[in-house]
Structures are given as C-alpha cells and as structure tokens.
Amino acid sequence: MKILRLKLCNLASLAGEQELDYRTEPLASAGLMAITGPTGSGKSTILDAMCLALFGQVPRLRAASKGQEGKVPDGVENDQLSMHDPRTLLRRGTAEGYAEIEFLGRDGRIYLARWQVRRARNKSTGKLLAAERILIDVGTGQTLASQVRECDLRVSEVIGLNFEQFTRAVMLAQSEFGAFLKASDVERAQLLERLLETEIYRRIGIFAHEKRKKYQDAYQLIKNQIGGIEPLDSDARQALENSLVTMGQLRSQLQKVQNYLNATQAWYQTQTRLDTQIHESQQSLATHTQNWLNLEPLRLKATQLDQIREIRPLIHQKNTLIERMTIRNQSLAKQKIQVQVLQEKLAHLQPQQRDAALHLQELQQKHALALPKIMNAQRLEHEIARISEEQAQQLAHIKQHHTQAQITTLALLNNTQQQNNTLDQLQKIGLQLQTTQYLAALEDQWLSQLDRMRDAERYTQQLNQLESHIPKQHHELSEATSLLQVLSSDLEQHQQHYGNATNKSDKLQSLKKDLMICRQTDSELHVLAQKYQDYRHILKIVTDLNLKQKTALEHQTGLTQNLVHTQKSVQHAELELNALLKVLSNQRLLRHKNVETLRNQLLPDHPCPVCGSTEHPFSIAEHLFDALKHDDEQQEKMARTALLDAQSLHQATTTELKLLNQEIDLRSVELQQRVAEERSIKGVMLQLPFATELRSFSQDDSARQAWLVQKITENQTSEKTIQTSITGLEALQEIEQNLIKQIDQARHRQSQLQQVWQSAVDQQNQLKSILDKTEQYFLPCFDPDIQNKWQENKSETLLFLERHMTNRLNQLATQQRLQNEIMALQQADQLLKLKQSQEQAKHHELEVSLQKLSHALTAIQSQFKDLLSEATSTFGDVIKSSLDWQTCFDSQLTNAQNTLRSMQDQIDLINPELHKLTSTIEHAEQQQSLEEHENTELTTKINLWYQSQPIHSEELLHELLAVSNDDEQLIKQQIEQVQHQLIEAQTRLTEHQTQLEHHQLQIPPSPDDQRSQVSHVDSSNVIKPASTMILASEISLKISDNSHQLEQVQNDWISLQLQISQDNERKEKALDLQQELDHAYAAYLRVDRMASPIANADGKVFQKIAQGYYLDLLLEEANQQLEQLSRRYQLIRAADSLGLLVIDMDMGDERRSVHSLSGGESFLVSLALALGLAAMASGRLRIESLFIDEGFGTLDPESLQVVMDALDRLQGQGRVVTVITHVQEMHERIPTQIRVEKLGNGQSQLTVI
C-alpha cells in the first residue's frame, strides 16, 4: 500500500484547498520527509485527513471519546454533535469540507477515496448534513462504492487492512510504545489488550467456563430426575387395569340411561313449543284476515286505476302537445321580427362597401408611381451609412497606429536598459565563478560522484562502528563460555543431592493422585450433607400439604351437598314460573284487544258473531280488566324474583366449589411434585458414597450431623498435608527446569555470539575493500588540499563540497540564462525598429483614404435631400427618411384595407344569420301543422274512450289521473303484502298442526332391555308420558341424579386412566433419561477436556496465555526490526510474566531491565516495537508509506544522531518515511519538508520545500 496524493479542504485549521502530490518533486524522490510547523498549526490534521478519506474515522477522536457520551455544539441552529463525530473537524464558517486520497492498492491498481461533508443549501449557516463517501477505480473511472458500509468493506479489501490495522501498520504511535516499554506488567497487559485486542480471549475463557458449567449442570439435573422416577410393579399395574375395565362398563350403562332421559325431556320440550306455535299462528291468521278486510277501499281504487291505464298516456300526450304548440308559436313570432331587422341593416352596408373599394384602388395607383423614388432614397441612405462607417473606422485606425507607435518607442528604450543591466550581472557572475574554478572538473559528473562520496561516508561510519563492536563481541563470547560451564556444574550438584527428574516426577504423580482422592471425598461428603438437609426440608413441606389437603376435602364435601340443594331449588322455581306464565297467557288471550272490541259490541239476548251463543259471561266492566292485569303482573314479578334468588344462591355455591376444586387440584399437583422430589432426593442420597454409614444412625439427626462434620474435618486435614508435600516437590522441579533452560539458553547464546563475532570480522574486511574501490572514482578529481580534508573528516568535507558545488552549479545556470536573455533582447530590438517604420507608412495611407471618403459623402447627401423635399411637398408632413416616406404610404393603404375588410365582415356575418333564421321559420311552420293534426287525432281517441267506459264522474277521472305511477305502485305493493301475509299465516298454521301430529307419534322408547343389565340403576329413572308439567319436573330431577352418579363414575374412570398413563410415562421417561444421562456425561467429559486448560470464571487465564503468545510474536517481529536498526540489543520476555528484558550483546549477552536504556536506545527499541506491530497488522502486505507522529523532543544530540541513522536505514528498505516533529536539528537534517504555516485567525496552509 502506497499513498500517491492527498487533497483536503476546510478541515480544522487547514483552510481552503490543500494538496500533497507524492508523485511530483520534491516529494517523489524523497525517501524521508518531515511535517513541521508550530504547535496547533494542523500537522496531525494531515494524518486525520488520510483516515477520513479511507475509513471515515479519526483515531484521536475515538481515543478521546472512549467512555464518554458527551455532546459538542455545532454552532449552527443550536445543533449538537457527538464527541467522536468526525464532522466536528469541519472548519467553522465554511459550507463544505472534504478529504481525498489517491493510493496504490495491493493489486497494483490506483484508487481514489473521498470523504465529504457539507451544510444544507451550501451555506455556512445551514444544518450539517450526513457525511458522504465514495471509492473510485482511477484506471477505469468506475465507482466501486458510494455507501458508508460498502466503502468500509471495499477499502479494506483493496488495501488489505481495516481501520485498526491501518492505524497500527501505517501510522506508528511511537510514543505509545515508549510507554509500553517502561510500563509495569499490569499496565503492559492493559496496553496489549488495546493494541492487540486480546479482550476476545478473556471472553473465550469465560465462555469455556460457562459452557463446562452448563454441561455439568445438565448432567446433574438428569441424574436427579432419574432418582425421582418410580414406576408401578406388575401386581399393582394389573389391579389398576382390572379396575379400569369394570369402571368403563358401569360408565357405559349409566350413559345409556342418561341418553334416554335427555331424549324424553327433549320430546316434552318440543311438545310444549309446538302448542305455543299453533296458538301464535291462529292469532296471526285472525290479525291478517282483519287487515285484508280493512284494505277494501284501496283494492277498489286499484281496480279503477287499472281501468284508466289505457287512456292515461293519451291524455298526458295531449297535454304535453298543447304546451309545446304554445311555446312554438311564441318563438316563431320572435324569429320573424329578427329577419326584418337584418334585411334593413344589409341594405345600409352595401353602398358603403363600394365607396371603400374605390378609395383603396386610388391609393394603390399613387403608391406604384412613387415606389421607384422610395427605392432610390433607400439606396442613397445605405450608401451614406456605409461611407460614414468607413470614415469612422479610418479615424479609429489612425488613432490606434498613433498609440502603437508611442508604445513601440517606449519598448525600444526599455529593451536598451535591460541589455545594460544583464551585462552587469554577467560580469559579476564571471568573477564569482573564478573563485570556485578548482571544482570545474566535477561539474559534469557531480551527481554520480556525490552518490559515491555519500556511500564512502556511510561505509566509513559502519567501519567505525564495527571496529568498536568487535572487541566487545569477543569479550561477550568468552563470558558466555564461562557461564555455560558454571550452569552445568550447578545442575550436576542439584541432581546428586535431590535425585533426578524421573524420581521427583513419580513421587509428585503419586501425591497428586492422593490429593485428587481427598478432594473427591470432600466433594462427596459436602454433596451428601446438602442432600440430607434438602431431604429433611421436603419431608416437612409434604406433611404440611397433607394436612391442608385433608381440611379442603372436608369443606368440598359440604359444598357439594349445598350445591345439590340449591339446584333443586332453582328447578322448583323454574317449574312454578313456567306454570304461572302459561295460566297468565291464557287469561291475557281472553282479554286480547280484538276480543275486547267484539265483547263491547255484544248485546243482551243477541247471538255472538263468533260462537252464536246468546250468553255473554265475559262482558264485564273495564275497571275489572285493569285490576286483573295488575294482579297478573304482581304474580309474575314475585315468581321471577324467587327464581333469580335461587339462581344467585346456586351460582355463588358453584363459584365457591369451583375455586375450592381448583385449589385442591393445584395442591394435589404440588403434593405429587413434592413427593416425587422427596423420592428423587432420597434416591440420589442413597446412591451417594457414605450413605450406608449415614443410615446406620437410624433417626438420630444430631448424630448424623456430628458424623458428617467429623468426616469432612479429617479429610481436609489430609488434603492440606498432601498439598504441602506437592508444593515442595514442584519447587524443586522448577529449580531443576530453570537450570536446564538456562544451560540451553547459554549454549544458544554462545553459538549466536560466535556467529556474530565472525560475521562482524568478515563485514569489516568487506567494507574496507568497498571503501577503497569507491574512493578511487572521485579522489583523483580533487586537488591536494581537498584530498587531505577528505581523509581527515569525510562528513565535513562532503558538506563543504556540496555547499560550494551547489553554489557553482546555480551560478553557471544563471550565467547561461543571462546570456540567453541578452540574445533575446537584441533580437527584440531589431523587430521593434522594423515595426516602427511599417506603422509610419500605414498611417500616411489611412489619411489619404479618409479625404476621398469625405468628398463622396458630400455628393450623395445632396441627392438624398432633393428626394426628401419632393416627398414632403406630396404629403404635407416633414419626411426625414425613406422609411418615413414608405410608412406614410403603408399607413394610408392599411387604413383603407381595414375599412373595406370591416364592412365585408359585417355583410358576411349578416347573410348566414339571415339564411339560418329563414330556414328555421319554414321548419317551425311545418312542425306547427303536424302538431295540430296530432292534436286532432288525440282528441278523437279520448272521446271514443269516454263513450266506452263506465266512469260517469269527470271529477273521479281527474282524481284518478292525479295519482302518480309511484303512488299506484305503492298501493299495489301494500295490497300484495297484506295478501302475502294472510297466505303465509294460513300456511304456517297448517305446518305447525302437521308437525304436532307427527311429533305425537315419536315418543322415545323405554330402555327396559338396558335397565335389566344395570342392577344398581333405579327403575324409577324410566318415565312414561302423562301430564306435561308433572313429567317435565320429574325428568329434570331424574336427569340431575343420574348426571351426578355418571360424573362420579366418569371421574373415577379418568383417574384410573390417568394413573395408567402416568405409569407409562414414568417408564418411558426413565428409559429416555438414562439415554440422556449417558449422552450428557459423554458431552461433559468432552467439554471438560477442552475447557480445563483455559476456563475460569473471569477469563483471565486464557487472556494471559494469549497475551504472552502475542507478546512473543511481537518481540520476534520487533527483534527482526531491531537487528536492522541496532545489532547490540535483543528483546525477550521475562519467564512466566509479561515483563520485558533486553539482552545487551556488547556486554556478554547480559540481561537487564529496559529501564536501564538511554533515551536514544529507548527510542530505537520503541520504534522496533512499533514496526513489529505494523508487520503483524499488515501480514504479508507490503507497506511502502510510514508515518511516525512525534516522540523526538526528549532526545539528546547523541541519541538524535542514532535516531536519524535508524530513519535512514528505514528509508534504505524502500519505504517512504514521514515524521512529525518540532525538533530543529531534525528539520536541518531532513531536506524535504511539508511545512504547516500559520496565517492568523486560526488558519494554516501547507508548503512543500
């Protein structure tokens, strides 16, 4: 990944557009560059812009806002932004800002990424909009992504790094690793967690612990469930099944009796319903018959309307025809008056039209005679305009040539002055070049010789370093050999005194087995004690539940008896109410409104029109009817109140019994669960070790408790003793292992030192040979003084030569440029003199041409004035141009044409209208004749109908004609509706009588054959039809008794079925649980083997392992970088911790604390750590651009020199390194700089130097 171009606008203090192009000089050829500028000028904003363009995020905003959820004001419309929102970087007072970067992807293609934010309406006071992002393939111009999430994915794909990896691999936080280097173990663990994201391993450790606990709990739960399941034995199961068969037979017999009783009750209910329906149908038939008689007047009127149906359309047609004839006569009179008016107007307009046509013809003749003169005047006008325009152009050219002549004269004077100044500069440069004439031999090959001189300087510095390191390396090699001998002797003495590793391992293994047995015993004893306590607690709960259940069952028996009594009370109240309602219904039928009307019409000793009797016993006074009606209502009200009271009492008893049953059912379920739980705990406890010894104490709880405490105490004492022995043996093992490890490290160190010392000697000889060959190229070009200076101090001599040669080359370039300028000025002088003579000749020609144009203009103007005078005398008005002359003619012609056209238009409008009215009148007269004939025919037809119909009254005829069709339809519908209701009532009465006859033939059969099979069923339950009221009451009571008996049998049968089903479920569940237990135990063992090394409650075990592993990887990468920066040091991790040590190869591989490093050494080690993390983050991806932010301010001059050498080596690896620094010495050592300059008012700009 390589950055090619960066462009930003209005971000933080960098106002306006700023651009850094790494493909153009001087950035293109620079391998090391610095971003410099005062504090707060915006140096770090350059790095922010890179991150914004690529990922839409800023590292320092994310780091600053961790753990904070505050808001910052936007400054516009009281808006607030989140503290980590990158839009806060938009410069205040600007409408938009962006960051754009071109980079080389890992596939070798060039991409452009852009981040942009703007305000609404593109105004600085607008609301801040959402940020926009885009990724483009520059080679094809294709837009790869334009959404935020899509851009994140595609950018990570093309560069091979995500945001976190980019900030570690490209932007090296060297100061962060300085803190990492000197931190404590705890602080270093926190830094590793942030830098390498090891938090996930802590979560994995917690997950493994929870997973193992989950499988362990599942195994224990299934094991407990198996202990609580006890299926029935074979004898109990057989007895249960026999009881179920007997109870099923009894249930079937009772159900047959219940079905018979229900069918009988339904038969009597149907009988009562049919009687009621027949009575209601008879009443309905009488009502509809009366309604039919009441409609006699309407039926007569409907008959009369049918008689006039034939003549009604003719009368209506005649009336309509008379109205239409009246309207037509009025319209015909108005149209005749309009025809007379139009004829008079046409006679007036025709003479005026002829006069207008003659006037137009006369004007056209005059215009034809004057047309040649007008055209001649137009030609003269165009000629005058053309000559005047040419005259003006000639004057402008004369003025322009005069001005140009003056400019040419001034240019000649300036050119002469510049030639004199340039000659003076050439003379001065020639004197300066004579002072550096000794460098003339290097001018042509300066760049190649400069590279060789720099190489020679570098080889010399490397030789000096090697010469100082070789003695130290030889000394370290000797010390390493001595150390190896001492460690070997110590190991031999340790093994002689304490035995070898195999003996200690066998003894330790035996002790660990004893310790495991003690811990297992302790766990079993604690589990047994806990289960015993649970067993005692559940026994107490079961006893309490049995007492509560017994009391509830007694209360249930009492409520059941009360419920039977209240049910009988409700049935008795319903029977009394139904009997009363039937009596009252019969009485009210006798007092029906129609019946009362007939009674009022009865006369003594006269026959009744209904029954024909001369005796009228119900013809009584009106006040007696009211008294009877009030008495009926009181009786019905009292009966309904008694029924409601009985129903309320029955409902309350039912509700109370239902709640009590629910309570009993819930307690039964809980009791079953508690009993099962007791059996489960007891079964589990009996399967535990030591359970047999615990049962030997019979029912003595205190003795059992004391025994358990004693056993636990003895076991814990044995465990502590074994643990102490194990700890001592492990300490001896650790000492022996440390000695063996130190011996291996010492041997490895000795081998490494031998290789390093030999490599340094070989490199020293090689560098001397290369240095001699390199100096042979450029030393012969120096004079003796320069050669002596070179041998004394190559660095100072190289700087001296660079400075003087740079000045000489610049002077030679200036000399050549001035000579070219002299030649150019001389050529320009000759051209200016030639141009001056040409302009003078052109000026004379223009003046002659101007005089000729003036004479021609005067002659043409005289002819034009004569023509205009003639036109003025013709029209009387002053004519100033040919256009005015033509306009006068056009105006007169237009007026005459408009007058003639207006008259013709009026005549054209009148003629069609007159013709139209004449045609309309003729058509109307024809229609009038036809309508009169039609009226005569209609009158004849109506008179003939009057003669043939029996309607004698004309008033009745008009009354019938006044009835509308809708009214006639309503009358017919009303008659049809009453007729339909009458027929329907007759049909319904017939149907009900037929249903009653059919029902009386369908009496339910007596179940004598069924009753004989049920010995204990009372024969009184079989009812034969008698009186409806009595039988209905008996059937209800019998159904209630039989239902209660059937319900008890049904409950017993269901209970037996439930017991068999539960036993089946227990057997199946026991088998299933045993399989589940086997699977659960296997799963627990598998998970336990995987989780044991890494699992614990807080997850820090696995996190610490991962941090140590990642730290080793980081140190391995860092040591590879450190070997290129400095061969003296190597980083290692302290044993069993996150501590850091350095191996000082110059001090015989001495291991010492990182706190002993100097400032420059600490920087090198920190830089190596940062580069190592970058290598880990980037993987195999090649990173060609690196940015190092700050970290140089505390270095002394010597350390700063070491740092600069390290940066030069990074540059030599093919990387473009950019550092952000305030250190002035680094500014002087790094020639290519991106300078951030403050402009005031919080603004800065970028300048590349």
Q: What is the dihedral of CA 926, 929, 935, 940, to 10 degrees?
A: -130
Asked if residue 498 lies in contact with residue 732, where contact means CB atoms within 8 angstroms, the answer is yes
Adjacent-strand bridge partners of 777: none
Residues 917-942: b if buried by 16+ CB within 10 A, e if exposed: beeebeebeeeeeeeeeeeeebeeee
Distance CA 29, CA 1026 (A): 127
Alpha carbons 493 and 978: distance in angstroms, whole number = 134
Q: pLDDT value at position 1028? A: 39
Q: What does the block give as tokens for 373?
A: 């003169």
Task: Report the 10 Å Cβ neighbour count for 472.
Answer: 17
Helices 312-435 + 794-875 axis angle, to 10: 130
Given a contact cutoff of 8 angstroms between Cβ atoms, the answer to whether 278 and 990 are in contact is: no
**Which residues 6+ apart lie within 8 Å of 458 measured at CB?**
none
**pLDDT tens string 723-757:** 788 877 777 777 877 778 888 788 877 777 787 77
Which DSSP state fits 147? S
CA dihedral (335, 338, 339, 340) positive or negative: positive
Dist CA 1171 CA 171 (whole Å): 10
DSSP state of 131: P
Identify the pLDDT of residue 10: 92
Q: pTM, whole model, 2 decimals?
A: 0.37
Residues in the chain: 1249
Structure token digits, residue 1137: 């911790």
**Checking phi first, is residue 4 left (phi over 0); if not, alpha (psi -120 to 50) or beta?**
alpha
Give the pLDDT confidence score for residue 951 in this predicted structure: 57
d(CA 194, CA 188): 10
Beta carbons within 10 angstroms of residue 869's beta carbon: 9
Predicted local distance difference test score (pLDDT) of residue 70? 65
Strand, coil or helix: what is 704? helix
Give how far Cα 1243 sits from Cα of 35, 61, 73, 471, Å: 17, 21, 21, 56
- Exposed, middle or buried, 69 (CB in 10 Å: 0-12/13-18/19+)? exposed
Closest CA to 842 of 405, 389, 391, 390: 405
**Torsion sign (Cα): 833, 839, 841, 843:** negative
Q: Supply angle C-alpha 334, 340, 344, rounded to 5.
A: 145
Could you give phi then psi for residue 244, rounded to 5 degrees? -65, -40
Give the pLDDT score at 431: 83
1039-1042 own/partner pairs: CB under 8 Å, 24+ apart: 1039/258, 1039/261, 1039/262, 1039/265, 1040/564, 1040/567, 1040/568, 1040/571, 1042/254, 1042/257, 1042/258, 1042/261
CA distance 1040 to 1047: 10
- Residue 1012's pLDDT is 38
pLDDT per residue over 76-101, tens digit each? Answer: 666 778 877 888 888 888 889 999 99
The total of other beta-carbon atoms located within 10 Å of residue 345's CB is: 13
Question: Within 876-964, where are the H helices?
Answer: 882-948, 954-962
Eight-class DSSP state of 1242:
T
262-265 long-range contacts, CB within 8 A, separation 24+: 262/1039, 263/1004, 264/1004, 264/1023, 264/1031, 264/1035, 265/1032, 265/1035, 265/1036, 265/1039
pLDDT at 53: 94
Q: How far is CA 1157 from CA 1143, 1191, 1201, in A?
A: 11, 16, 16
Residue 614: count other Cβ atoms within 10 Å of its Cβ: 11
**Side-chain half-sphere exposure of 651, counting CA atoms within 13 A:** 6
Residue 444 DSSP symbol? T
Q: Among 500, 178, 263, 486, which residue's Cα sits nearest to residue 1038? A: 263
CA-based nearest residue to 715, from 523, 533, 528, 530: 523
Per the CB < 8 A criterion, the answer to whether 551 and 557 are in contact is no
3-state SS, residue 117 = strand
User: ∠ CA(657), CA(661), CA(664), 5° rounding?
Assistant: 140
Helix axes 794-875, 882-948, angle to 10 degrees: 80
* CB contact set of 1193 (below 8 Å; sequence gap of 6+): 1221, 1222, 1223
Tokens for 125?
């006071």
Which residues are 1152's β-sheet partners? 1142
Do 11 and 61 touch, CB atoms closer than 8 A? no
Phi-psi region of 1240 (alpha: psi -120 to 50; beta: other; left: phi over 0): left
Q: Which two structure tokens, joined as six digits, stand for 12?
A: 């933080």
C-alpha to C-alpha distance for 333 and 328, rounded to whole angstroms: 9
Task: Return the CATH architecture of domain 1-170+1216-1249.
Answer: 3-Layer(aba) Sandwich (3.40)
Identify the CA nearest to 103 among candidates 114, 88, 94, 113. Answer: 113
Peptide bond into 26 cis (omega under 30): yes
d(CA 429, CA 668): 120
Reduce the secondary structure of 1042-1099 to three states and give it as a string: HHHHHHHHHHHHHHHHHHHHHHHHHHHHHHHHHHHHHHHHHHHHHHHHHHCCCCCCCC
How many degrees, rounded to 5, is the angle at CA 601 between CA 599 and CA 603?
Answer: 95
Sheet holding 171-172, edge to edge: 142-145, 132-137, 110-118, 96-104, 2-11, 14-21, 1243-1248, 1233-1240, 32-36, 1216-1220, 1185-1189, 171-172
Residue 410 makes CB contacts below 8 A (sequence gap 6+) with: none
Residue 132: strand, helix, or coil:
strand
Low-confidence ranges of the chain (pLDDT < 70): 62-70, 75-78, 169, 172-180, 191-192, 194-197, 498-501, 504, 583-632, 635, 694-701, 875-877, 949-954, 957, 1004-1033, 1159, 1177-1182, 1190-1195, 1199, 1212-1214
